[in-house]
Chains A and B, each alone.
Chain A
Amino acid sequence: MEQIIQVTILGIGLGGVFALMGSGLSLVFGVMRIVNLAHPSLIIAGAFTAYWGFRLWGIDPLVMLSVATLLLAAIGVLLYKIFFERNAKSATYSEMTVLLTFAIAMIVEGALGAMFSNTQRVTSPSYATDAFFLGDIFIPKGQLYAGMVSMLIIGLLAAFLKYSRLGYAIRATTQNRDAAALLGVNVNMVGLMSFAIGIGLAGAAGALTSFVFSFFPAKHWEWIAVLMSLVVMGGMGSIMGTVVASFALSIVAAFVGAYVGSTWSTMTFFLALFLVLLFRPQGLFGEKPELL
C-alpha cells in the first residue's frame, strides 16, 4: 500500500509540472489555431532565465518565475508581430504554423546555444533535492513546490479567462473567431494577447522545470512529443483537458515505471496519443473543446 501511495505522489508531482508546460501550448492553439512546436524551446528559454538569475545573483527560481514570465511574454509579442499576425486569415494557417514554429524552435535552440553554450544546466535551490518524509513515504519538495505554483498559475489563468473582459473576448474568439469579430471583439489584439500569455506561461513553466529537470538548448525535442500527447488527449485547445491529461498520464506512467519498468513509462504518453487519435481524436473533452 505504501508503494502505491508513493508512486501516486510521484505521478501527481510530475503531472503538476507537465500541466503548466502544456497549458500555454493549449491556450495558443485554442485561440489562434497555432500548433506551436516552438513551445518547449521557449520553456527552455524560461529555464535559462531562471538559471542565470539563480547563478549570478542567487535569486530563487520561484522568484525568477515572474521575470521569466514577463520576458517570454514580451518575446511572444515580438514573435506574433513578426511571424503570425500577417498570416492569421490564411486558409492554411494551422498547417503553416507547424512549419513556422518548427523553424522558430530551431532558431531559439541555436540562439540559446550561441548565448549560453550547449552545456547542461539545472538550478539547485536547497529544496530541489530535498523531500518531506512521512515514515517511509516521501514527498519531493521540488516537485511539490513546482506543482503547487503551477496549479496556482493555472487557477489564476482560469479566473482571468472566466471573469475578465479580455478573458471573455479570448473565449469568444476561441469559440468563433468570425462571430467574435462581428460583435466588436478586436480579434487581432485578442490573438496577440493570447499568444503573449501562452508564451509567458512557457516562461513560467521554464522557471519551474529549471530545478526539476536538467536542461540544455536541444532538450526541447524530448519534450515536444510528451506535451503534444497531453494537449491532444485533453482536447486541442482545452486547458482543463490538458491539466486532467497531465495528471492522469503522469500517474499512469509512474505506475508503469514502478511496476513494469522505466523503459515503458515514457511509452505511456505515446501510447495514449496513439489510442486517443485512433478512438477519440477530439480528445477527452468533446467535439469542440472550450478553453475551460
Chain B
Amino acid sequence: MTSKIVIAVTAAMALAAPALAQDLKIGASLPMTGNFSVSGEKHQQGYALCANLLNADGGLLGRKIDLVVSDNRSDNATAISQYERFINVNAVEAVFGTFSSRLTFPVASILSRYGMVHPIPAGGALRIYTQGYEGLYYLQPNAAEYVGSSLRDMIRDRIAAADAPKTAVIVWADDFFANAVAAGFLGQQVMDPANGSLVADLAPGYLADSGIEVLMQQQWPEEGFNDWLNLANSIKNTKAELIIGLTASAEEASQLTRALQTVRADPKMVYLSQGTQSEYYEAVGNASNGVLVHTSWHPNAPFVGVLGSKPFSNADFIAAFQAEYGFMPDEDSAIPFAVCQTIAQAIEATGSTDNAKLDAWLGARTAAEPVKTILGDFVWDERGLPVGKPFLMAQWQNNGELNFVYPTNAFPGTADLVYPKNGWQ
C-alpha cells in the first residue's frame, strides 16, 4: 500500500513538474509588415528586450516568459483574429497591445470581451477610450486630441508674445491618430463612430486658443500619397509662420520635411507629430534642425522604473537596448518596453496572471503608488488614460541632436528653444 502511495505521489509530482515550470505566455500582434512595419519592428524589439531581461532574472512568478509575437500585416482583421488565437489557441495569460490607433480600436473590443487587460503602446485616439471597454491602460501621456496642448503651452511659455507665430498651416494624414491630433488643434467635435454621439467638443482648439490664424488646412490620403512637392508648394504659398504636419509615420515626416526643404518654405516654426526616430534624421539630415516633435520618451529623461522588482532606469534601458541590438532606441521601442514593465509589475504585485486581478490592481494605482516605468510614473483614469502627464516637446538641434525643450520644469537638461527656425540646412 505504501509503495503504491509513493508511486502515485511520484507520478503526480512528475506530472506536476512540467506544469509548475510551464512558460508564461504573453501574446502581441504587431504590424511587422505592411504600412506600420517600421514601428512594428521596433515595438517587437522593445517587448523582446523586456522579456529577455525578465527571463535573465528568473522570469515572472518563477516562470519563464514566452513572448508570442504574430505579424498582423498592418491589417485590422488579422490583428483581431491573432488576439483571438492567442487567447483561444495559444492560451496566453496576458497580452501586449499593438501599434497604431487604427489597429488598437478594433482590438480593444475583442480583448474587452475576453476580459483581458489591454496595455496600449500606441492608440491615442480618444474614441478608443470612450466605448466603455474594460481593462484599457494607455502608456503614452495623453489622448491624441490633447497633444496640441503641449505646443500651445510651449509657445506661450518659451516665446515672447510679440514674436510668437500668428499664422499657421495644418496638414495631416487621413489617419486615425493624425485626425485626432488635428481635431484638437482645430477645435473640432469628436464623434463616436458607432452611434454618432458626441465624445468631446474640443472648441475653440489649441490654435485659436493661441491666437493663431489658420491659413490652410488639408489632409492627404492615408496610403499611396506621393505628391509631397505639390503639397509643400501650397504650404509655402501661404507664407504661414507655423507649419503643423501631422504625419502618421516617420516616413511621412521625412517626406514632408524633404519636400518643404526642396521648395524652400520659410516658416518660423515647424512641428511634426512624428519624427523622433533616427530614421527621420537619416532621411532629412540637417534639414531637421529646428523641427519640433512631441514625444513620450526622451533619452535624457531621468525616470526610474521597476523591472523584476528592482529599480530599472531609463539609462539602464538605453544601455540594455544598445547591448542587445547595437543601436540607440527611440520611443517606438521605449513605449512597448514600458507596456511590458506595466504588466510585469501587475503580475508580480498580484502574484497572479488572473486578468481580473491585474485589472483591479492597475486601476487602483495612485500618485503615491503608481506603475513605475522608463517613461515615468503612470496612474490612469477610469477610461484608461494617464492622469497628469504632459507630452514632452523635443527639437532637432545642432545637426542631429534631439533635445528636450518643454516642459521646462520637469527635469534637468532642458535645452534652449531654437526659434525662429533658420532655413533647412
Contacts and interface: CB of A to CB of B under 8 A. Distances in A.
Interface of A: 3, 6-7, 10, 13-14, 109-110, 113, 117-122, 124, 128-131, 133, 138, 140, 142-143, 213-214, 216-218, 221-223, 225-226, 253-254, 257-258, 261-263, 265-267
Given A129-B262, A140-B262, A216-B251, A262 B37 contact: no
A133 B282 CA distance: 26
Given A10-B230, A254-B230, A263 B33 contact: no
A10 B229 contact: yes
Contacts of B283: 120-122, 124, 214
B33 A119 contact: no
B315 interface: no
Contact of B37 (A113, A121, A122, A225): A113
Nearest to B261: A129
B234 A131 contact: no
Interface string B268-303: 000000000001001111010000000000000000
B186 to A, nearest CB: 15
A266 B221 contact: yes
Contacts of B32: 113, 118
A118 B40 contact: yes
Nearest to B37: A118
B78 to A, nearest CB: 13
Contact of B258 (A117, A128, A262, A265): A128
What 9 pairs across the A-B complex have the smallest Cβ distances? A118-B37, A262-B220, A120-B251, A222-B224, A257-B230, A129-B261, A118-B41, A122-B283, A257-B227
A226 B224 contact: yes
Contacts, number: 126
B226 A266 contact: yes
Nearest to A268: B227
A290 B249 CA distance: 42
19 contacts: A13-B229, A113-B32, A113-B37, A113-B41, A118-B32, A128-B258, A129-B287, A129-B424, A131-B262, A138-B233, A216-B37, A221-B223, A223-B224, A226-B224, A258-B233, A262-B227, A263-B219, A266-B225, A266-B226
A76 to B, nearest CB: 23
Query: Which bracket fits the contact residues of B?
Result: 35 or more
Interface centre among B171, B224, B284, B285 (most CB of A within 10 A): B224
B154 to A, nearest CB: 27
Interface in B230-278: 230-231, 233-234, 237, 249-251, 254-255, 258, 261-264
A138 to B, nearest CB: 6
Contact of A213 (B230, B233, B255): B255
Given A216-B251, A262-B230, A118 B33 contact: yes
A117 B174 CA distance: 26
A122 B221 contact: no
A41 to B, nearest CB: 11
Contacts of A3: 237
B74 interface: yes
Given A258-B234, A262-B219, A131 B263 contact: yes
Nearest to A131: B262
B227 A14 contact: yes
B263 A138 contact: yes
A216 B35 CA distance: 9
A104 B37 CA distance: 19
B277 to A, nearest CB: 9
Contacts of B34: 218, 221
A259 B316 CA distance: 52
Contact of A218 (B74, B250, B261, B287): B74
Contacts of A262: 171, 218-221, 225, 227, 230-231
A119 B38 contact: yes
A127 to B, nearest CB: 10
Nearest to A265: B227
